[in-house]
Structure 1
Amino acid sequence: MASIKIVLRKKRRIDGSFPIYLRVTKDRKTKFFKTIFNAFPDEWDANAEIFTKKNSNYIQKNRLLSNIKDKAYRVYLNLKTEKERFTLSDFEHAFRVKSNPNGNNIFYFWDDLISEMLTAGRTGSARCHKDAFSTLQKFHGSTILNFENVNLAFLSKFEGFLRFRGGSDGGISVRMRCIRTVFNIAIERDITSADNYPFKKYKISKLKSKSAKRALEIGEVYKILNMDTSKHPELVDSRNYFLFSFYTRGMNFADIMKLKWSNIKDGFIQYTRSKTKGNFKIKILSPVEEILDYYRVQPTGTSYVFPLLKSDDLTPIEIERAKKQTLKIFNMNLKEIACHCQIEKTLTSYVARHSFANCLKQKGIATDIISESLGHQNLEVTQAYLKELDSSILDKASELLLPPQPTSHPHLRIC
């Protein structure tokens, strides 16, 4: 007989509480299944495996924990009936996928999805979903929310809640798309009915960001290209990352951070984009070559091109943490660069991607080659064109962004 218990794991969270897990032990092997709950030691009765009265909503939470434990027992007994010998992996599959009596609770199912994302190394998606998860839970005021209760009226009220807290159309859209993803997967796995799908009536497409365009014009890009970094050595790396992104068709920061020397061969950069998994082959233009030459003589001690990741052995979560820290510094430095170059627009890491599209339009490149809305508007359409077009067409288009005359850049040698 397996041991099935609800336990408080000894891994303290930032707020001092501890996560609550279902622990299953069989054949001297143990597997933990995370629940959506956390508790402080004085709120948890380890012997009874329940919340104490010191925890708010303890009755509802204990009821859900009881359901989780009952489900685990049912799954175990069903497996034992089907076959005498089974593994914890068999149990996990049956527990997570085949049988989910609490799947009607969107928070319970959503938390499982976030765990799956982390296991798959999709840390960026997991972070986005965690944020949407916690915001929705704060709005709802409870850990129990059934799929059928998330309808047009509910989502409209949630949108109002987000706006009251200062949310923009873009930010609200991100959270709503996370909820839509949860529904799509839940329907696909037969956790809920397609009849409960609220996004037939609630249209996320109405949430179009009204923020001003942040793309640079080509003259402003040249200002950054010709910036004398000898006076501001602390800004060298950030300037290089921005220009590298711009001249590599708007390569995003996550891919720049993880770019390896092995991705560079015979005058081209070949890499797989983290977000879309699309494969890209990009001709190395002269500004990119100068930047690469600069880092070739400054070895990082890793296989990475840029000194952003300190080790080749980082886990996906550690890489995500490093990205968050370095991106913050990068964006702070870009604001200083904008000031020194007398650029009045707000400069961020993503502006390089917007600017690439905008500058190509200024050079007369057709929208069907690379659209003005490379970022948040119709990004999927743009990516589809990029995937289908001959790479040489894009390389020739990119070359139009080079300065009118060959220019030496002593700042790269000095820094």
Structure 2
Amino acid sequence: MNTSVKIVLDSRPMSNGQYSVYLQIIKARQRKKIKIGLKCFKENFENEQFLKAHPNYKEENKILIKRKVKAEDIIRGFQLDDKDFSLEEFEDKFRGKQINRKLVIPFFDEIIDELTTSHRLGNARAYSETKNALLKFSNDKVKFTDITPEFLEKFEVYMRFRGNRDGGIAFKMRELRSLIKKAIQRKIMSKDDYPFDEYKISKLKTKTKKRALTLEDFRKFKNVDLTERPELLEAYHYFMFSFYTRGMNFVDMMKLKKSDIKNNRIIYTRSKTKGNFSLELNAKANEIINYYSDKNQSDYVFPILLHNEMTPLQIENRKHKVLSRFNYKLREIAKIAKIETHLTSYVARHSFATIMKNTGVSTDVISELMGHSNVQITMTYLKEFDNSILDNAVKKLDDI
């Protein structure tokens, strides 16, 4: 298997304008970059070495040569042993780490680090939640060979005892199954020890009841008096905007830019399904946009992402923080409006579809909007209709 090693600069500068220097290894079209503790200005680096303008360039070039030679020696050692190594094993060897790769928790950390580095932060968070649950059930010494069907049954019982429901248990079991498949791919675990052929996640009843407001409760929410609770107005606006924009979810509202609004239409691609939407803004949605027009100086419509240069990690943390606050405030509004339904951001999405259906809009047009167990099916149905049909359907909401 062809493997190449090269000294490269990071693709993005640090705050001081300098770039970190990495050892880059490419194997089987997979790439890993390992920091080697050096940095420089871009104009002082060329052909894998520092130029004369770089301070101490001779000494630091010697370091670069030593790091590259060390990397090539490690690869040659793997080849002499006829070992099909992973990039993670290479990095462990390069850094001198003595890691027992048969242990589950260190491998969790390894995958979480990879996902974080590649900015797949939602996936990283999902793996972290599963790792933490497993740590509470077992310990950091659990091996892949310990994870048997019987182990999984006991893990399920433990999570249920801790208050997890079928949906939450199935979520963590799927993440654990994904980790085990990665371990098998990287030759850390044998296919013969795969436990999910016998333990079936499908036995968990993961279909959750969709919550939606009745027309009566929606009117209570819409007409709620928040004069004495102005801190709840933001959550009220986000819920109503989602409702009036065909159930736009929170992430898409968060990422919605002022440039996405043209000729009184919102044109955007849904983050989750990558489906393209073009929808007309009604008067009430426009009022909400106008309310925030001078409250956010960034490119975004709503003051969720506060500036344009946020990193992926900052965006993920901001989303988590604001969404938690949003859902908490919705529960407070529900108390004031005397609504018994447990309100979350997603209730706006499902309420839109349900109320549209109950006001006489064709089932074919809304295609049981957001009621499908497979969201892709819903999006496929929606694409069959011209925007004008959908816009006219939404206008019925103005009279509610």
Which among 299, 306, 311 is matched to residue 303 of structure 1? 299
Q: Does 1:268 align with 2:265?
A: yes
Report matched runs for 1:366-385 at 5 Å: 366=363, 370-371=367-368, 374=371, 378=373, 381-385=374-378
Which among 350, 354, 358 is matched to residue 358 of structure 1? 354
The change in CA–CA distance for 1:198 and 1:80 in structure 2 (over 3 A counts) is closer
1:78 equivalent in structure 2 = 74
The change in CA–CA distance for 1:350 and 1:134 in structure 2 (over 3 A counts) is same
1:162 positional shift: 0.6
1:327 positional shift: 1.9
Which among 106, 113, 118 is matched to residue 108 of structure 1? 106
The change in CA–CA distance for 1:282 and 1:372 in structure 2 (over 3 A counts) is closer
1:238 positional shift: 0.9
Report matched runs for 1:9-408 at 5 Å: 28=38, 77-79=73-75, 95=90, 102-146=100-144, 148-209=145-206, 213-230=210-227, 232-296=229-293, 298-362=294-358, 363=360, 365-366=362-363, 370-371=367-368, 374=371, 378=373, 381-387=374-380, 389-390=382-383, 392=385, 396-397=389-390, 399-400=392-393, 402=395, 406=399
Q: Residue 197 of structure 2 aligns to which amino acid in structure 1?
A: K
Q: Residue 140 of structure 2 aligns to which amino acid in structure 1?
A: S
The change in CA–CA distance for 1:93 and 1:243 in structure 2 (over 3 A counts) is same
The change in CA–CA distance for 1:112 and 1:208 in structure 2 (over 3 A counts) is same
Q: Secondary structure at the match of 1:243?
A: helix
Q: Secondary structure at the match of 2:267?
A: strand
CA contact (8 A) 1:97 1:189 kept: no
Q: C-alpha separation between the residues in 1 aligned to 2:146 and 2:331? A: 44
1:283 positional shift: 3.2
Gaps of 5+ in 1: 1-22, 30-72, 84-90, 408-415
CA contact (8 A) 2:183 2:189 kept: yes
Q: Residue 349 of structure 1 aligns to which amino acid in structure 2?
A: S
CA contact (8 A) 1:361 1:372 kept: no
Q: C-alpha separation between the residues in 2 aligned to 1:209 and 1:398? A: 34
Q: C-alpha separation between the residues in 1 aligned to 2:230 and 2:260? A: 27
Q: C-alpha separation between the residues in 1 aligned to 2:195 and 2:388? A: 43
1:107 positional shift: 2.5
Q: C-alpha separation between the residues in 2 aligned to 1:25 and 1:295? A: 43
1:340-388: per-residue Cα shift (whole Å, max 9, x none)?
Answer: 32312111112112323333443464379544764xx72xx22243046
Q: C-alpha separation between the residues in 1 aligned to 2:245 and 2:255? A: 14
Q: Secondary structure at the match of 1:129?
A: helix
1:303 positional shift: 1.0
TM-score, reference length from structure 1: 0.67
Q: C-alpha separation between the residues in 1 aligned to 2:271 and 2:91? A: 27
CA contact (8 A) 2:367 2:382 kept: no
1:174-194: per-residue Cα shift (whole Å, max 9, x none)?
Answer: 211211222333444554444
The change in CA–CA distance for 1:169 and 1:285 in structure 2 (over 3 A counts) is same
1:197-246: per-residue Cα shift (whole Å, max 9, x none)?
Answer: 32222222222258664211233223333334455432221111001122
Q: Secondary structure at the match of 2:247?
A: coil
Q: C-alpha separation between the residues in 2 aligned to 1:199 and 1:284? A: 48
Gaps of 5+ in 2: 1-32, 40-68, 80-85
State the aligned residue count.
330
Identical columns (%): 39
The change in CA–CA distance for 1:114 and 1:27 in structure 2 (over 3 A counts) is closer
CA contact (8 A) 2:275 2:379 kept: no
CA contact (8 A) 1:216 1:355 kept: yes
Q: C-alpha separation between the residues in 2 aligned to 1:207 and 1:114? A: 26
